[in-house]
Amino acid sequence: MKTIDNFDFKDKKALIRVDFNVPLDEDFHVTDTNRIEAAKPTIIKILEDGGSAVLMSHLGRPKGTKNPDMSLSHICDTISEVLGVKVKFVPDCIGPEVASAVSALKTGEVLLLENLRFYKEEEAGDRGFAEQLSRWGDIYVNDAFGTAHRPHASTTVVASFFGKNKCFGYLMAGEIKAIEAVMKTGEKPVTAILGGAKVSSKITIIENILDKINHLIIGGGMTYTFVLAQGGKVGDSICEPDKTDLALSILEKARQKGVKVHLPVDVVAADHFSNTAKTRVMPAAAIEEGWQGLDAGPKTLEEFREVILQSKTILWNGPVGVFEMEKFAAGTIAVGNYVAEATKDGAFSLVGGGDSVAAVKQFGFQDQVSYVSTGGGAMLESLEGKTLPGIAAILEND
């Protein structure tokens, strides 16, 4: 796998695809700088080599129109603060104004291009648009894992214009290695913790990882489809009654492959979906009418703890309860503590997927696990066994 460590960037311009699709408040201030901070090591390495950096990214979904609310000019100062380097900005990503700005770029300088998605050709993967982007660098660096599953001009097509002068940034390399550590090289026992609302949204992941894992912990809303499939009563819990056959087939496949499935045995049930609801602990397979399961119960968490602490490799994708409500966050916090404890004892832990990443950050576990993925959709597609176009484009002719 070719990374920026394979190149000397002295007197070279690096064209870097970053993922600076960051949240902004109503005054266009960045409210979460994680994605910028994640790209910093790659950019700094290039500058310290004696190179310069041309950054390209998208922001929001302008759908091919030049929407000033989604201009990357809003985040230029924040990028400068994070990098500790004054970042220049050019209000376009192709054309003579960009050519002039790139030409004037000196060693150690950083130039930020305008939002790529102001051009519909970006998402269309237009080859002509990609060729124009390719003019802005001597070496192409893809460090945008969050968009690696998109065959866009800047993430995939542009790489074809650089021959062997293309590589992964540190962030991309880290993501690829973390997923490989779970899917290929992970020390056993390997445990996957899958939460979230729907079995249907996780089916391809489950089917793809069954050959790689020893334990499958199922939590969150998915629980109740499995419970219903096995003849249990789920009350008013979220459920996919039309997916019970699918749930049973997953259990059977797991049995055939020797994977032990751990489903909740008890849950924290509520009389309505609210932080002010009355709550009771009920057996997971005997939830009363008018009640709904919203978090893992105490006996369940004891069992989960035992499994997680004996694991050497852990994948966590999805919370085990409605952690957004304080009343139903205890289960997800407990799982976070178990994963952190296992990691401290030498396990490798990968957390990915929007909700689990949000939970890990909200409850302060990000520094207590081995790796927190920055790419929701990209990571999920990797776990499904798909080759991401942004990764394949770098590996071609490598």
**What pLDDT, on the 0 to 100 scale, is given for residue 201?**
84
Confidence category of residue 221, pLDDT binned at 50, 70, 90: very high
Question: Does the annotation place 275 within a ligand binding site?
Answer: no
In this predicted structure, which of 114-123, 147-156, 322-331, 370-379 has the lowest mean pLDDT? 370-379
Residue 54 has pLDDT above 60, yes or no: yes
Q: What is the token pair recorded at 257?
A: 């492959």
Residues in a beta bridge with 88: 111
Residue 66 has pLDDT above 60, yes or no: yes
Question: Does the annotation place 21 within a ligand binding site?
Answer: yes
Residues 35, 166, 212, 243: which is the catalytic one? 35
Question: Does the annotation place 60 within a ligand binding site?
Answer: yes
Compute the half-sphere exposure of residue 174: CA atoms within 13 Å on the CB side of its CA: 18
**What pLDDT, on the 0 to 100 scale, is given for residue 148?**
92
Question: Does the annotation place 390 within a ligand binding site?
Answer: no
Question: Does the annotation place 20 within a ligand binding site?
Answer: yes
Question: Does the annotation place 383 within a ligand binding site?
Answer: no
Question: Does the annotation place 17 within a ligand binding site?
Answer: no
Q: Which residue's structure tokens are 């004891």?
A: 302
Compute the half-sphere exposure of residue 249: CA atoms within 13 Å on the CB side of its CA: 10
**What pLDDT, on the 0 to 100 scale, is given for residue 387?**
85
Q: Which residue has the higher pLDDT, 377 or 110?
A: 110
Reported as a single tens digit per residue, the pLDDT across 339-391 is 999 999 999 999 987 688 889 989 999 999 999 987 777 888 888 888 899 99
Q: What is the token pair recorded at 105?
A: 């770029």
Residues 230-248, mean pLDDT to the nearest whole number: 96
Q: What is the mean pLDDT of the chain?
A: 95
Amino acid at the residue 173: A
Residues 139-150, mean pLDDT to the nearest whole number: 94
Question: Does the annotation place 215 within a ligand binding site?
Answer: no
Q: Is 35 a catalytic residue?
A: yes
**What pLDDT, on the 0 to 100 scale, is given for residue 355?**
84
Question: Does the annotation place 135 within a ligand binding site?
Answer: no
Residues 50-77, mean pLDDT to the nearest whole number: 97
Distance CA 95, CA 19 (A): 22
3-state secondary structure 307-334: HHHCCCEEEEECCCCCCCCHHHCHHHHH
Q: Which residue's structure tokens are 């397979």?
A: 285
Distance CA 319, CA 218 (A): 10
Reported as a single tens digit per residue, the pLDDT across 290-317 is 999 999 999 999 999 999 999 999 999 9
Residues 2, 198, 253, 386: which is the catalytic one? 198
Residues 354, 361, 385, 386: which is the catalytic one? 354
Residues 108, 377, 385, 386: which is the catalytic one? 377
Judged by DSSP in three states, 347 sits in coil
Ordered by where they begin, the domains of the chain are 4-174 (3.40.50.1260), 186-383 (3.40.50.1260)
Question: Does the annotation place 19 within a ligand binding site?
Answer: yes
Reported as a single tens digit per residue, the pLDDT across 161-219 is 999 999 999 999 999 999 998 888 889 999 999 998 888 888 888 988 999 999 999 99
Confidence category of residue 398, pLDDT binned at 50, 70, 90: low
Question: Does the annotation place 248 within a ligand binding site?
Answer: no
Question: Does the annotation place 290 within a ligand binding site?
Answer: no
Q: Is 354 a catalytic residue?
A: yes
Q: What is the token pair recorded at 242?
A: 């039309």
Residue 119 has pLDDT above 70, yes or no: yes
Distance CA 226, CA 243 (A): 9
Question: Does the annotation place 255 within a ligand binding site?
Answer: no
The answer to whether 159 and 168 have CB atoms below 8 angstroms apart is no
